[in-house]
A = this chain, B = another copy of it.
Amino acid sequence: MKQSRYFLKTSKTTPADDLSINAKLLEQGGFVQKVLAGVYDFLPLGLRVLQKIENIVRGEMDKIGNEMFMPVLHPKENWEKTGRWSGLDVLFKIKSQHGNEYALGPTHEEIVTPAAQAIINSYKDLPLAVYQIQTKFRDEPRAKSGLLRGREFRMKDLYSFHATAEDLDEYYNKTAMPAYEAVYKRLGLDALLTEASGGTFSKYSHEYQVETENGEDTIYVCEKCGLAKNKEIFEEGAKCTNCGKTSWRETKGCEVGNIFKLQDKYSKAFNLQYTAQDGSKNIVLMGCYGLGTSRVMGVIVEKFHDSKGIIWPEAVAPFKVHLLALNGAEKESGKIYESLLNSGIEVLYDDREVSAGAKFADSDLIGIPYRVLVSAKTLDKQSVEFKKRNETEAKLVNISDLASYIGAQNQKQ
């Protein structure tokens, strides 16, 4: 992508009313633009990151469920059935000119449960799992943490349906948890499995927490096995549920996933039943498994940055290579750009007529993993300067070897 023709402009202005690192770097870097507090445009550069995150999530979820797509507008009746029309304080409510009342979906139990009624009849139809990647809405009083707490945000939510508590446990522990671990591994995030409050219908839920300096949650991590507990359920002298030890380290975390056993809470409200092998009718049991994809984007920035800008992990970087053309090297840069594209490498090509200093600063701010600098100085040696965003040393690479050199870097990861 040629930067001169890209819907992108970096900025030196810091957000006026949001002090979070992710808001600052993502807005200045031209990834997002604030439309209102907690509501953002994903500009082309930012959408590329979001899509990479969502495709990683999709890839792992496809192994454990079917993707579907539920609406934003939810009938009031469905939310009244579960008691959450009045019970959920962040629910956005809307009244049409024609007198109908809707909620804007903050989560989709009220939609997926009746949807499942048309699909599930018999024990033979179970277990079953569906997920979606959809925009969600919360009528938050304040929204000042960039992508970490939005009024409108992106989320993957998966729902599983089971005949028995054992089957729900099995899916929760042996299917969903490994899928979540696979997602975080691919995203380059070290996410701690964390016991958290289960609300009214389960003893615990589980969160995945990423340790960050400015994390909003306080968590206690078992010094022996790494299992964590959210402060909300932590008691002095508590034993680790996993290894039995009582030695804990206090730290700050950002939640990047939350999984619940819903048991029969929603299936009862909608009378979602199945016919068992003996002919009896039983209530289906459910689990739900959330992962905020735009939030993950914010957490990655909170975690991977330095004073100059973002340092994207390879798997979610908007481009692999940032190609900078310095004065007098435009023609050769254009050729290198074409040749990298032909090798299937994602390149952002800074072909703008701005100073070298501005190009360096923008490149550090945007945080693409590999920077390739084309200048008259090294062209004499048929070479370009290659530098990784997370290293300080640049290396001279022969132009004819560049594509394979970059390919080899990828494999080293």
Contact = CB atoms under 8 A, between A and B. Distances in A.
Interface of A: 1, 4-9, 11, 33, 35-36, 39-44, 46-47, 50, 66-75, 89, 92-94, 96-98, 100, 102, 104, 111, 115-116, 118-119, 121, 124, 128, 130, 135, 137, 139, 141, 151-152, 353
B8 A119 contact: yes
Q: What secondary structure prevails in chain A residues at the interface with B?
A: mixed
Contacts of A36: 73, 75, 100, 102
A273 to B, nearest CB: 15
A11 B117 CA distance: 13
A144 to B, nearest CB: 13
B75 A35 contact: yes
A96 B7 contact: no
Residue from A43, A69, A102 whose CB has the most chain B CB atoms within 10 Å = A69
A139 B96 contact: yes
20 contacts: A1-B66, A7-B66, A7-B119, A7-B130, A8-B119, A33-B115, A36-B75, A41-B70, A42-B69, A42-B70, A44-B66, A50-B69, A72-B72, A72-B104, A72-B137, A72-B152, A94-B104, A97-B139, A97-B141, A98-B141
A102 B94 CA distance: 10
Contacts of A72: 72, 104, 135, 137, 152
Given A1-B66, A96-B139, 17 more contacts: A4-B124, A6-B66, A7-B66, A7-B119, A33-B115, A35-B75, A42-B69, A44-B66, A50-B69, A71-B152, A72-B104, A72-B135, A73-B151, A73-B152, A94-B94, A98-B141, A104-B104
Contacts of A151: 73
A139 B50 CA distance: 29
B67 A47 contact: yes
A119 B152 contact: no
A43 B115 contact: yes
Nearest 8 Cβ contacts at the A-B interface: A44-B66, A42-B69, A94-B94, A7-B66, A7-B130, A39-B71, A47-B69, A9-B119
